[in-house]
C-alpha cells in the first residue's frame, strides 16, 4: 500500500496540557513519604527498623517524559482511539494505569497484523524503548498520528549503529536479543539500504564465543546455529566479523559492557595485530549508570537485607538485583503484595527467570533494610513496599524520626 499523507504535527506539551498532565501523573505515582526520606538524606528510622534509600532510584527522565507524553496524548486526543506499541515501560502497574485510561496495546508476537487494522484517525504511541523500523514504517503507511516517546539515550545508540552500517562495520550489540530496545536498535544497524549487519551478545560467554571465532576461526555452521536468533539476515561470520563496532542496550551492566568491549578489542588485535578494525562508543544510559553507582555506594556498608523494586522484565532492575545479592540477602519484588508475611516473600529469581517464594526472610529485632528501584518504578510503589514492611514489623506511622 502506498504511504499515507504525513500527519500534521501536534504539540502535546503546551503549558495548559502539561499542567493537567503533571497533576494526574503526580496523583498516580508521587509519594510524599519517599520525598521526605530523600530530604532526610535517604535514611529513615521507624522503631527498630532503619531504612536506607539509594541516592538514585526510580523514574528517570526518559521514563517520566514517556509517561507525560502518553497522558498528554490521552488528553489532547480525547475522542480518538489510542494504541501503544508494546509496553510504555517495563512496569506492570504503570501499563495497567494506561490501560485504565483507554490506551490499548497493539498485541501479537510481531504486532504487524494489528497495525494493518489501524486507520488514519488512530493515534499510536511509540514506547520509551523505541520500535523496529518495519513497525514504524507500517504505522506511517496507515497514516496514524504518531506520538514518539523514544528515549534520547536510545536514539543516540541508533545514530551510532547507523554510522557503523554506513561505514561497512558490523554492530556487535551487548544486550538481550528479544528485548524491545535491542530489536529496535538491531533494525537500525541494517542501515537505510538494509546492507548493514549485527550480532547480539548477551553475556561474556557469548562474547568469548565471538572472540574465539575472531582469533581462531571455527565451524561457521555451528557459530550461525548458536546465534541464529541474534544476528542479521544473511550474516556470515567469515565476512561480517572483519570490521566490528560495539554498541549496547542502554540498560546493561556497565562493568560487563566494558568487559565485552575489552575482550572483543583484544580478539581483533590478536587477529590483525592492530585495532584498526574495531570501534567502540559508550552508549550506557546515564540514569542506568547513576542507579548502579548509587547502589554500589550503599553496598559499601551492606544493609541486613536489600529490597529491589520493579518490573520483572526490566533489564536495568534485574542488574540492580544481581549487583545487590553479591553483598546482601536480596529480594527482587514487583510490589508490596510480594511481602506476604514475616515468613513468606515472593520474589524474582534472575537466574531461573521466574518468581519464587522464600521463607524466614525478615529477621526479628532491629534491622537495616536497603531499598532501590529500577528506572521504570514509580515512587508510590516504593512507599507501598515500605509501609508493608513496617506493618509486618508491627510499626505504624510513616513519619521520619
Residue 232 is predicted with a pLDDT of: 96
Shared domain for 141 and 172, answered yes or no, is: no
Residue 119 is predicted with a pLDDT of: 94
- Which residues are marked as active site? 181
Shared domain for 128 and 245, answered yes or no, is: no
Region 188-213 average pLDDT? 92
Q: Average pLDDT, whole number, for the chain?
A: 93
Residue 89 maps to a domain = yes
Residue 115 is predicted with a pLDDT of: 87
Residue 23 maps to a domain = no
- The grid coordinates listed for 150 are 523514544
The number of distinct structural domains making up the chain is: 3
Each residue's pLDDT tens digit, 312-337: 999 999 999 999 999 999 999 999 99
Burial class (CB in 10 A: 0-12, 13-18, 19+), 69: buried
111 has pLDDT over 80: no
Each residue's pLDDT tens digit, 123-138: 999 999 999 999 999 9
% of the chain at pLDDT higher than 70: 95
Residue 335 maps to a domain = yes
Region 129-150 average pLDDT? 95
401 has pLDDT over 50: no
The residue from 254, 280, 306 where one domain ends is 280
pTM for this structure? 0.91
- CA 324 from centroid of its chain's CA atoms: 18
Shared domain for 95 and 205, answered yes or no, is: no
pLDDT tier at 76, thresholds 50, 70, 90: very high
Residue 11 is predicted with a pLDDT of: 87
8 has pLDDT over 90: no
Q: For residue 180, give Cα distances in angstroms to 123, 314, 396.
A: 20, 11, 42
Region 66-72 average pLDDT? 97
- CA 54 from centroid of its chain's CA atoms: 19
Residue 187 maps to a domain = yes
Shared domain for 316 and 229, answered yes or no, is: no
pLDDT tier at 194, thresholds 50, 70, 90: confident
Each residue's pLDDT tens digit, 249-278: 998 988 899 999 999 999 999 999 999 999
In CATH, what number is assigned to the domain containing residue 37? 3.40.1010.20
DSSP letters, 224-281, are HHHTTTSB-TT--HHHHTSSEEEEE-TTS-HHHHHHHHHHHHHHHHHHHSSSTTEEE-
Region 46-70 average pLDDT? 95
Region 80-93 average pLDDT? 93
Residue 188 maps to a domain = yes
Residue 225 maps to a domain = yes
Residue 400 is predicted with a pLDDT of: 41
Of 223, 256, 259, 255, nearest to 238 (Cα)? 223
Q: What angle do CA 388, 394, 31 make, to 5 degrees?
A: 35
Helix locations, 307-360, DSSP H: 315-324
Each residue's pLDDT tens digit, 9-40: 788 989 999 999 999 999 999 999 999 999 99
Region 162-179 average pLDDT? 95
Q: What angle do CA 43, 44, 48 make, to 5 degrees?
A: 125
Q: Residue 298: which domain range?
A: 30-60+286-392
Residue 107 is predicted with a pLDDT of: 65
**8-state DSSP, 73:** H
Amino acid at each position: 500500500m502506498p504511504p499515507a499523507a504525513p500527519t500534521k504535527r501536534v504539540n502535546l506539551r503546551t503549558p495548559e496540557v502539561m499542567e493537567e498532565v503533571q497533576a494526574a501523573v503526580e496523583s498516580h505515582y508521587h509519594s510524599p513519604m519517599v520525598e521526605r526520606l530523600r530530604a532526610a538524606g535517604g535514611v529513615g528510622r521507624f522503631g527498630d527498623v532503619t531504612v536506607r534509600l539509594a541516592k538514585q532510584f526510580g523514574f528517570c527522565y526518559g521514563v517520566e517524559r514517556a509517561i507525560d507524553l502518553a497522558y498528554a496524548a490521552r488528553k489532547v486526543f480525547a475522542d480518538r482511539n489510542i494504541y501503544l506499541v508494546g509496553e510504555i515501560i517495563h512496569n506492570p502497574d504503570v501499563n495497567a494505569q494506561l490501560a485504565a485510561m483507554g490506551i490499548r496495546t497493539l498485541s501479537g508476537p510481531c504486532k504487524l497484523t494489528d497495525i494493518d487494522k489501524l486507520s488514519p484517525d488512530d493515534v499510536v504511541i511509540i514506547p520509551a524503548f523505541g520500535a523496529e523500523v518495519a513497525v514504524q514504517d507500517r504505522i506511517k503507511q496507515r497514516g496514524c498520528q504518531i506520538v514518539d516517546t523514544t528515549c534520547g539515550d536510545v536514539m543516540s545508540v541508533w545514530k551510532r549503529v547507523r554510522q557503523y552500517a554506513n561505514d561497512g562495520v558490523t554492530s556487535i550489540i551487548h544486550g538481550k536479543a528479544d528485548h524491545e530496545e535491542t530489536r529496535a536498535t538491531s533494525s537500525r544497524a541494517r542501515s537505510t539500504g538494509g546492507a548493514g549487519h549485527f550480532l547480539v551478545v548477551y553475556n561474556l560467554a557469548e562474547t568469548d564465543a565471538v572472540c574465539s571465532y575472531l582469533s581462531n576461526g571455527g565451524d561457521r555452521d555451528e557459530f550461525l546455529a548458536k546465534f541464529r536468533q541474534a544476528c542479521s539476515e544473511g550474516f556470515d561470520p567469515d565476512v561480517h566479523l572483519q570490521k566490528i563496532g560495539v554498541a549496547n542496550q542502554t540498560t546493561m551492566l556497565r562493568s560487563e559492557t566494558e568487559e565485552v568491549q575489552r575482550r572483543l578489542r583484544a580478539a581483533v588485535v590478536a587477529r590483525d595485530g592492530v585495532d584498526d578494525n574495531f570501534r567502540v562508543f559508550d552508549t550506557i544510559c546515564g540514569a542506568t549508570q547513576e542507579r548502579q553507582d548509587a547502589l554500589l555506594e550503599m553496598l559499601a556498608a551492606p544493609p541486613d537485607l536489600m529490597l529491589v523494586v520493579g518490573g520483572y522484565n526490566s533489564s536495568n532492575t534485574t542488574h540492580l538485583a544481581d549487583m545487590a545479592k553479591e553483598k546482601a540477602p536480596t529480594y527482587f519484588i514487583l510490589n508490596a503484595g510480594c511481602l506476604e508475611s514475616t515468613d513468606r516473600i515472593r520474589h524474582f529469581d534472575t537466574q531461573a527467570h521466574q518468581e519464587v517464594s522464600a521463607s524466614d526472610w525478615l529477621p526479628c529485632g532491629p534491622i537495616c533494610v536497603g531499598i532501590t528501584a529500577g528506572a521504570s518504578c514509580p515512587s508510590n510503589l516504593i512507599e507501598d513496599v515500605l509501609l508493608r514492611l513496617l506493618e509486618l514489623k508491627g510499626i505504624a506511622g510513616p513519619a521520619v524520626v
